[in-house]
Structure 1
Amino acid sequence: MNERQYWVGFSLTKGVGPVRLRRLQEHFGSLREAWTAEPEALRRAGLDRRALHSLLETRRRVDLEAELARLDKLGIAVLTWEDEDYPPLLKQLRQIDQAPPVLYLRGSLSERDEWALAVVGTRSVSPYGRQVTYRLARDLAASGLTIVSGLARGADSEAHRAALDAGGRTIAVLACGLDIIYPPEHRQLAARIVQQGALMSTFPLGTKPQATNFPPRNQVISGLARGVLVTEAGIKSGALVTAGHALEQGREVFAVPGNITARGSEGTNRLIQDGAHPVLSARDVLEVLNLEQ
Structure 2
Amino acid sequence: MPAALPLAADELAAWLRLAHARGLKPIALRALLGAFGLPQQVLGAPFDALAAVAGRDAAQAVLAPPDAGFAQQLASVAAWRAQPGNALVTLADPAYPPRLLTMPDPPPLLYVKGRLDLLHARSVAVVGSRSATPQALEDARRFARTLAAAGLAVVSGLALGVDGAAHEGALPERGGTVAVIGTGADLVYPAAHHALARQIAAQGVIVTEWPLGTPARSANFPQRNRVISALVEGVIVVEAAMRSGSLITARLANEMGRDVFALPGSIHAPLSRGCHRLIKEGAQLVETPEEVLEALGLAQPAKPARRTRAKDTQTQTQTLPLPLPLPLATPPTPLEAQAETLLAALGHAPATLEILAQRTDMAEATLQATLLRLELAGHVSALPGGRYTRASHC
Aligned equivalents of 2:80, 2:64: Cα separation in 1 = 22
Aligned equivalents of 2:94, 2:131: Cα separation in 1 = 38
Aligned equivalents of 2:32, 2:68: Cα separation in 1 = 19
Structure 2 gap segments, 5+ residues each: 1-8, 301-394
- Kept in 2: contact 1:87–1:114 (CA 8 A): no
SS in 2 for 1:206: coil
SS in 1 for 2:64: helix
- Kept in 2: contact 1:134–1:162 (CA 8 A): yes
Summarize the Cα distance change of 1:84–1:249 in structure 2 as closer, same or farther, 3 Å threshold.
Answer: same
Summarize the Cα distance change of 1:187–1:55 in structure 2 as closer, same or farther, 3 Å threshold.
Answer: farther
- Kept in 2: contact 1:133–1:159 (CA 8 A): yes
1:190, distance to aligned residue in structure 2 (A): 0.6
Aligned to 2:242: 235
1:89 matched to 2:99? The reply is yes
1:143, distance to aligned residue in structure 2 (A): 1.2
1:276 matched to 2:286? The reply is no
1:164, distance to aligned residue in structure 2 (A): 1.1
- Kept in 2: contact 1:145–1:169 (CA 8 A): yes
1:53, distance to aligned residue in structure 2 (A): 5.2
Aligned equivalents of 2:277, 2:142: Cα separation in 1 = 22
SS in 2 for 1:211: coil
1:88, distance to aligned residue in structure 2 (A): 1.7
SS in 1 for 2:179: strand
| Pairs aligned (count) | 290
Aligned to 1:32: 40
1:60, distance to aligned residue in structure 2 (A): 5.5
Q: Mapping of 1:206-221 within 5 angstroms?
A: 206-221=213-228
SS in 1 for 2:18: helix
SS in 2 for 1:110: helix
Aligned to 2:70: 62
> If each structure's helix is expressed as a fraction of its own residues, which one has the higher value?
1
SS in 2 for 1:220: helix
Aligned to 1:133: 140
Task: Write out per-residue CA displacement over residues 216-243 of structure 1, whole angstroms, 9 at most, x where no aligned residue.
Answer: 1000011111100000001100000000
Q: Mapping of 1:1-293 within 5 angstroms?
A: 1-37=9-45, 42-43=50-51, 45-49=53-57, 52=60, 56-58=64-66, 61-63=69-71, 65-75=74-84, 76-93=86-103, 97-110=104-117, 113-166=120-173, 168-293=175-300
- Kept in 2: contact 1:168–1:196 (CA 8 A): no
Q: TM-score, normalised by structure 1?
A: 0.91
Runs of at least 4 residues of structure 1 off by over 4 A? 37-45
RMSD, aligned α-carbons: 2.2
> Which structure ranks higher in relative contact order (CA pairs < 8 Å, sequence separation ≥ 6)?
1
- Kept in 1: contact 2:13–2:74 (CA 8 A): yes
Identity, % of aligned positions: 40
- Kept in 2: contact 1:14–1:55 (CA 8 A): no
**Greater C-alpha radius of gyration:** 2
Structure 1 gap segments, 5+ residues each: none
